[in-house]
Amino acid sequence: MTEIAGVMKKAGLVWLAWGGGRPAPAWFANVDGQYVVLADAADSAEQPLPGLATAGSAQVVVPAKPATSRLASWTATVRRLEPGTDEWTAAALVLRTDRLNAAGLDTQLERWKTEADILVLEPTGEITEAVGRYDATPRAETPVGTSATTRGKAPITLHRRIRRRPKLS
C-alpha cells in the first residue's frame, strides 16, 4: 500500500478502466488517505464516468510525467459515498478546492448531491504494473468516432515544408 501512496503523490490525474471499457482520464483528490473521484453519470459540466459507480472495481493507471508512459497500475474497489453524510461532505469539500475551472461555485455542492457521485477508490493491494514489471501489451487504440470537423478549407501550408533560403555570408 505504501508503494501505491508513493506513486499517487506524483499524479495529478489517473486513467480509470472498468467493465471492459476504454480507460478514461479522471482527476482525483486524497482525502484522509483515501482516493476519491467525482463521477458524473450524465453528460454535464463535471467529470463524465458513466457506470463507474456501479462497477464494483476499476483498474487505476498512474501516468508518469510527462504523461507518455505508465508509472504504475493498481486495482481498486469502488465505493460510493452517500450524499449528505459526514464522509461525503469531507470528500466534497476537498474535491471542491482541487477542482480547477469550476462553474457555479455557489451551487456546486448541491449540484453534486443530485447530479454526480463521489466515489472512493480503495486499493485491493494488487499492483499490476510498477517500475521493473510493466505489461508489454500495446495500448494503442483507434480514436473514438466524433462528429467534429474543421471549418472551411484546410490551410495551404498543411503538410508542406517552408523552404528557407541559405544565408549568404
pLDDT value of residue 57: 95
Q: How many residues does the chain have?
A: 169
pTM of the model: 0.77
CATH code given to domain 2-129: 2.30.110.10
Mean pLDDT (whole number) for 11-16? 89
Please report, in angstroms and rounded to a whole number, the separation of the first and last CA atoms in the chain.
64
The Cα 98–Cα 101 span in angstroms is 10
163: pLDDT strictly greater than 90: no
So where are the chain's domains? Answer: 2-129
42: pLDDT strictly greater than 70: no
pLDDT value of residue 14: 92
Q: pLDDT tens digits, residue range 65-115? A: 766 677 888 999 999 999 989 999 999 999 988 776 667 777 888 888 888
Closest to 58 (Cα-Cα) out of 78, 73, 39, 38:
78
Q: pLDDT tens digits, residue range 113-148? A: 888 899 999 999 888 877 777 777 776 777 777 777
pLDDT value of residue 52: 92
